[in-house]
Chains A and B, each alone.
Chain A
Amino acid sequence: MEPMFTPALHRQRHQFVIDFVKRKKPKKVLDLGCCECVLLKQLKFHREIELLVGLDIDGVQIKKKMHGLAPISTDYLQPSYDQLRIELYQGSVTEKDSRLRGFDLVTSIELIEHLTLADVELFSEVVFGYLTPEAVIVSTPNSDFNPFLPGLVGFRHIDHKFEWTRAEFKSWAMKVCLQYGYGVELTGVGQAPPGQQEHAGFCSQIGVFHRLGGKERYNMFDEDAEDVFSYTLLYSIIYPSLHDNNILRRVLMCEVVYWAEKLKRRWIAEETGERDDTDDLCQAEGEGGECFRASERHVDTEETQTGEQRALKAACGAEMKTLVDQEEEDGELFWRHSKPDSDKWRRRVSVPLAVLWCCCPKVSVLSGSVSNLRLLLMDEPGVNLSQDGSAMLLNHQEQDLDDDDDEEEHRADLEDSPYAEARQCPPSAEPEEDWEANV
C-alpha cells in the first residue's frame, strides 16, 4: 500500500511540535499521553528545554520505554552548559497535580479523542484552568477528512470515543479560550488531495493555544497553594551539565592538567633540544602559539570573530611565545624547582596560570578569569600551585622508555646482589614418572 503521507502523519505531527519548540524556545515542556515517549525522545535533543515531562495513564508502557530517555554516553563525556531534567509520570489528564503547573508548553497529540466527552471537559479544566501553561498544542483527527482514507469505516482507531469535524473542534477550542483566557490558532498537518484542502481540511487538526493576559493569571494560582500530588513519578533523570559544580570542576581539571602537561613537554623538548616526532611535541617551533590557535581554529570557523577578539588571540599567542623565550633567557617563568628528595633529585616545572588561561580556549571559557581559575585549582587535591598561586607545579620526570622486550620486562628485577649460590641437586632425585604407561 502506497503511504498516503510522506513523511508519515505521526512524524508530521511531531515535527509540528518540534518546529514550534525551535521557534518559541520553551524551557518547560509537558507531553500529555506520551505513550512510548517517541516525541520526548526527539525533544530531548533541543537543549533549550530545561525540564521535559511526560504523562501517560499507562505506566507499563512508560516503564518499558523510559530508559531510552536516559543521557547517552557522550552526554557524560562532554557535558554541555545546557541543563535538562526529564521526568515521567503515570496519571490521568483528568486529575490535577501541582507539580505540572506553570509550564511553557503542554502538548496533547492525538489524545483527547481517546477520552469520553465528559472527560474532555475535565481535561480542559485541568490543562487550561489548573496547569495554566503559556502554550498548548492539541491535535486530534479531523473527521471531515475521513472520506479520503481508503477503506475506513467508523473511526480511525478502535479506541476512539469520537472524531470531530473542523467545526466541532473549533467550537470546543473557542469555548476553552473563552472560559480560561486563551487565544487559539487552528491549523493541522496532512494535506488533503489537490483541490480538496478547502473542503476537507488537514487530516490531523491542530489547535495552538496561547494564554492571554500574561502574568496576572500566573499569580492567581499561588493563592490556592494546596499541593496536589495525584500522579506517580516513574522516572527522573538529570542530564550532566556544567552548571553542576562538581562536573564543572572535573572537566576543568581535565583540561588544565592536559594543557599543563602539554606545555611542560613542549618546554622540556625545547629545553633539551631534542626533537622527537614520535612524541606529542609540537613541531611548529617558529611560532609559539601556532598549535594552540590551530586547535581552536576548527571550533571557531563558523563564529565570526570581531577584529578585537582576533587581536586578543594573536596577542595571547605572541605572549606565549615570549613567555617561553623569556624562560630560555632567564629562567623566570618556567623554572625547575629542585630539591633533594631522598637520594634522587626531584625537579618540578612551573606553568604560569596566565599562560594556561590564554593558551587553552576551553580553560578560559570554563573558568572565566585567571583569578577564578586559581580559586578553583586551589582546592583541588591533585594540583600543586606555587606559593603565590600564580603557577602550577608539575613533576619533571623523565619518561622511562623500554627496549624491545615483552610485557614481562616490566617486572625485571633490578637489584644488584651478588650471584646467589644455586642449590644443586642431582638429576632424577625422584623416580621418573611415565605418563605413557598410564594411557
Chain B
Amino acid sequence: MTGRARAKSRGRARGQETTAPGASLAQGEPAPPPDPGQLVGRGRQKGAPGPFSAEAVLQISAGFQQVKLGERGGRRRDFNDAGVNTRMAMEHVKESKSGTSGEAIRLSANFFRILSRPQWVLYQYHVDFNPPMEARRLRSALLFQHEETLGSARSFDGALLFLPKRLQNKETLLHSETRMGEKVQITVTLTNELPPTSPVCIQFYNIIFRRILRMLDMQQIGRNYYNPKDPLNIPQHRLTIWPGYTTTILQYESAIMLCTDVSHKVLRSETVLDFMVNLRQKTGDQRFSEICGKELIGLIVLTKYNNKTYRIDDIAWDHTPMNTFTKADKEVSFKDYYKSQYSLDIRDNNQVLLISNVKKMGSTQGPPPGPAMLIPELCFLTGLTDKMRADYTIMKDLDKHTKLEPQQRESRLNRFVASLHMNTDAQAELDKWGLSFDRELLKMTGRVLPGERIFQGSRSYDFNPMMAEWAKEMRGMPVISSPPIDKWFMFHTRRNVNEAMSLMQTLGKVSAPLGIRMQKAVMIEYDDQLESLLRALQHNVTPQTQMVVVVLASNRKDKYDSIKKYLCVDCPTPSQCVVARTLSKPQALMTIATKIALQMACKVGGELWSVEIPLKQLMIVGIDCYHDISAGRRSIGALVASLNQSMSRWYSKCVLQHKGQEIMDGLKMALCGALKDYMKFNNCLPSRIIVYRDGVGDGQLHSVVDYEVSQILDCIKSMGQDYVPKLTVVVVKKRISCRLFSLVTGKATNPPPGTVVDSVITRPEWYDFYIVSQHVRFGSVAPTHYNVVYDSSGLKPDHMQRLTYKLCHMYYNWQGIIRVPAPCQYAHKMAFLVGQSIHREPSMKLDDLLFYL
C-alpha cells in the first residue's frame, strides 16, 4: 500500500553501491551447495599468493550463503558482517590475539550479558503447499491453522519455518482449508537443526529483541528504535531529536551479549514541501531545481501514512499529485488515492513528486516493483544534510543535546535495561523464549599503552598523555625540516587589508622559532568577486610559486571551491585559505598564525614531527572514500602512502569512481604509483606494507575480504615476480556502537588515550581490537575498531596495536593524537576536498605534498 507507481524508472542503477559482485545473498529457497567459482567475485581472483588458500576463501565466503532471517519474514543485509571468518586463515593469531604492553585498567563497556538463553536447538523446516499458494500471507494463515501442532513460538517467512521444537516426524502432513473452502495439503519437512550459537539463532534473538522494543512503544526508524514521546526540540533549526537505542545481540569473544548504545535520531519538524518552498525563496526559480536536487537526493524521508523510510533517489519534475497510476486495473490519481486510502488531503496540486527506488524484492514472479513516487507534502525529512553538518551553529546546538558525558550515558543505558525488566509484556516475551539479560554493564580489563615520545630533529619531548596533545610542548621547537618559502602570495580584499597585514607580521614572528624560513609574501588585492579573484590568481601564480594564501572576506563555499579547483587542477600550487573573521581577534592571532605556518610548511613538503617506529622498510597505506550522495552518487577513493621511515612524507592520490566500478579498481593504480614513488625515495621497494582501510560500511566487510585484498595482492605482484612483501590489511571503523568507561575513579569516566581492548567484546572469528587514541573534552569518547582481515607479516598483535596507536600521533594538522591512523585521516581529508570542492582528480604534481590539509 505504498502508492507505488509503475512509472518508468528514472533513477540510476545502484550497481556498485552495496557490495562486491559475487557476494549475492541467498534468495528464496535454501542455499544451493556453494560453487567455488561463484564465490570469489566472478572468478576475478587469480590464485592470489598468501595464506588464503582456495579452501579458506571458500569458507570465508560460505558465510554469506547462509540463510538470513528478516524481522518481517524478508531477508536482510548482514549488517554485523557475521559471515566473515578471517581469523582462522592467520596462523599467528589462532591461539591468541592479545597484546601485552601497558598497564591494566578496569573498564566497563556498553554490553549486557545474556544470563540464560534458550537451551533449545532451533529446528528449520521447509514448508510446501499443495496446490501451491502464491500469497505469503495466505501461506502463513494456512500454516498457522495448526497451532496445536506447531506451538505459539514460531517464525515463518513463507517457505522456511523455524520452531523451537522438533516435530514428531521428519515429514509432517497438515491439512488446511482456505476461506473459500479450498483444501490445501501442507508438507512440513525438517531440513536443519541449528545449535544455539549458530548465526541463525543469534539473528533470532535479535528479532525477538526488536519485538520487545516495540512493546516499549518505541518507533523504528531505519535500524534503530526511538522514543517519540519525549522529543528534544531545536526550534531555530526546525529540528527534533528523538532519543533511542541501537541494539545488537551477537556472539562476542567470550559470550553472546547485547551491545546497546544511546542513539539520537534527528528529524525535521517540517515537510519536504515546506523545505522546498523555503528553498525556492532563497535560491530563486532559476537555480532552484539544481540546488533542490543537490540538497534532497540521498536524504531519508518518513511518510504520513506508514512507518517506512524511503531514500530520495530523484525528483520527478514533470509529475504532480494529479498524475495517475494503475491500482487494481484502474487509473487513480495520487491525490485521490491518498484521500480514499488514508483520508489525507493533498493541498498543493502543483508540487513535484519524489522518486524512491524501492530496494525490496518483489514477489518471486514478475518484475521487481518500480520506483515509489512520494508526495513532498506527505513526507518528513530525517537526518542532517552535509550543508547542515558544515554549519557550526547547528552542530553546536545539536551537541548540547546529544553529547552525553560518560556518567549520563551509563545511567541511560542502565535505565534502559531496567525498563526491560520492569515491563511485564516484555518480560513475558523474553520468558517465552527463555532469554534473560544481566542488569549491569559488563565489567572487564583493558590496557593503557605507554605514552609516545615526540621527535623533532635532534630533540624530543614527552607530553601529558591524558590530554593527548602537545601544542604547548612544541612551542619554540623547530620542526624536523621545512623547505624555505621564498616565493609566495597573499591575496586579500580591500576590506581585509588589515587582517592580511597582521597575519603576515605574525607569521613572520612565529615561523622563525618553528624553523620555518619564510620570506615576506607579495600582497595582492582582489575585488570581492569570484571572477576577479580567479583573474588575480591567473595573473600572478606561476609554476615557480611555492604557496598561495587567500584571505577570504566571508565563509562562501563557491569561492573556496573555485580557488581549490584552480590551484589543485589547473595550476597545481599549494594553497591556504583563511576567513578574515578568524584573524580579527588579536588575542588568538598568535595561535592561529602558528597553525597556519605549520600547515603551510606541510603543504610545501615540510616534516613536522615523528614518533619512533621500530620497523624498517615499511610502507603504511591509508584508504578512505567519500560518497557524494547528490551528484550522481559518484564515490571518491583516496589513497595515502608513507614514503619514508619517519612517516613524515606521504604520497597521496585521489580517484573518482566510474560507473559500475569498485573503488578499489582505481585505487589499484594509485597503489602502484605509491610503490614506484617509494622506490624513488628509498631506492628499494618496501618489504612490509600495512594497509589501513577506512570507510567500510556495515555489511561490506566481505567485499574488502573477498575482492579488495586480492586486488592489492595483484597490484603488488605487478611490481615484479620476485617481489613478495609482507602484507597486512586492517579495516578501520569509527562509527561503532561500542563505548568504554573507565572505572578508575569509582564513577564512569572516559578511558585515557591509549586504552586498548582486545578480548571479551571482540569477535571470535576476527583478529580485531579496539583503541581509544583520542581525548575528548565533552561527551563520551568513542573507541576505534581495528579488524586485521589479512596478515602475512606475522607481526605480533601487541606490535600491531602499538604501531596503530603510534600512527594516530602522525596527523600534521593537529598537534595531538587523533581517532584513526594519520594516513586514514589524510585520505579522508583529501577525499572530502575532492568530493566537496574540486570534483576532479588533482594534478599529479601535488602527489608528494599534503596539499589538502
Contact = CB atoms under 8 A, between A and B. Distances in A.
Interface of A: 6-7, 22, 45-47, 60, 67, 70-74, 76-78, 149, 151-158, 237, 250, 253-258, 261, 276-278, 280-284, 291, 294-295, 297-302, 399-406, 408, 410-416, 419-427, 429, 432-436, 438-439
13 contacts: A46-B343, A73-B221, A78-B304, A152-B180, A155-B181, A156-B179, A277-B283, A280-B282, A400-B392, A406-B814, A420-B473, A425-B461, A429-B453
Contacts of A411: 777
B458 interface: yes
B473 A257 contact: no
Contacts of B363: none
B196 to A, nearest CB: 25
B814 A408 contact: yes
Nearest to A22: B343
A269 to B, nearest CB: 12
B307 A413 contact: no
B579 A439 contact: no
A88 to B, nearest CB: 13
Interface stretch (B119-127, B235-243, B653-661, B677-685): B235-243
A340 to B, nearest CB: 19
A76 B226 CA distance: 12
Contacts of B803: 435
Nearest to B341: A45
B194 interface: no
Nearest to B233: A254
Interface string B574-605: 00011101100101101110010000000000
B302 A427 contact: no
Contacts of A400: 392-393
A151 B328 CA distance: 26
Interface string B445-478: 0000000010100111110000000011111110
Nearest to B283: A277
B513 interface: yes
B152 interface: yes
B780 to A, nearest CB: 16
A47 B343 contact: yes
Contacts of A250: 231, 233
Given A257-B235, A258-B236, A295-B281, A73 B302 contact: yes
Contact of A412 (B228, B377, B476, B595): B595
Contacts of B281: 282-284, 291, 294-295
B284 interface: yes
B182 A405 contact: no
B169 interface: no
A413 B181 contact: no
Contacts of A399: 392-393
A425 B457 CA distance: 11
A414 B588 contact: yes
Contacts of A410: 392
A416 B587 contact: yes
B575 to A, nearest CB: 10
A423 B461 contact: yes
A414 B236 contact: no
Which of under 10, 10 to 19, 20 to 34, or 35 or more describes the interface residues of B?
35 or more
B486 interface: no
B267 A416 contact: no
Interface stretch (B246-254, B663-671, B743-751, B794-802): B794-802
B795 A439 contact: yes
Interface stretch (B43-51, B311-319, B553-561, B565-573): B553-561
Interface of B: 152, 177, 179-182, 214-215, 217, 219, 221, 228-229, 231, 233, 235-236, 238, 240, 267, 269, 271, 273-274, 277-278, 281-284, 302-307, 328-329, 341-345, 347-349, 351, 377, 380, 392-393, 453, 455, 458-462, 471-477, 513, 554-557, 560, 577-579, 581-582, 585, 587-588, 590-592, 595, 612, 614-616, 777, 793-796, 799, 803, 813-814, 816, 818, 829
Nearest to A234: B425
B347 A301 contact: yes
A6 to B, nearest CB: 6
Given A67-B214, A421-B476, A434-B614, A403 B578 contact: yes
Which residue, of A153, A237, A401, has the highest number of chain B Cβ atoms within 10 A? A401
Nearest to A155: B181
Contact of B349 (A257, A301, A416): A301
Given A6-B328, A158-B177, A427-B459, A414 B587 contact: yes
B152 A60 contact: yes
A302 B347 contact: yes
A240 B537 CA distance: 59
Contact of A294 (B277, B345, B477, B816): B277
A76 B304 contact: no
Given A151-B181, A413-B591, A433-B614, A261 B236 contact: yes
A295 B269 CA distance: 15
B277 A295 contact: yes
B835 to A, nearest CB: 14
A191 B551 CA distance: 79
A77 B269 contact: yes
Which 9 residue pairs across A and B have the least CB separation, nearest first?
A: A257-B235, A419-B475, A76-B228, A254-B235, A261-B236, A401-B555, A408-B814, A419-B476, A433-B614
Given A280-B282, A436-B615, 18 more contacts: A67-B215, A72-B307, A73-B219, A152-B181, A237-B217, A250-B231, A258-B238, A278-B557, A282-B281, A283-B284, A302-B345, A401-B582, A403-B555, A405-B813, A416-B588, A423-B461, A425-B460, A427-B459
Given A156-B181, A255-B235, A439-B793, A404 B462 contact: no
A73 B344 contact: no
Contact of A408 (B177, B180, B267, B813): B813
B235 A438 contact: no
A439 B794 contact: yes
A302 to B, nearest CB: 5
A76 B229 contact: yes
B231 A76 contact: yes
A315 to B, nearest CB: 21
A427 B588 contact: no
A258 B579 contact: no
Contacts of B177: 157-158
A157 B555 contact: no
| Listed residue (B351, B476, B777) with the most chain A CB atoms within 10 angstroms of its CB | B476
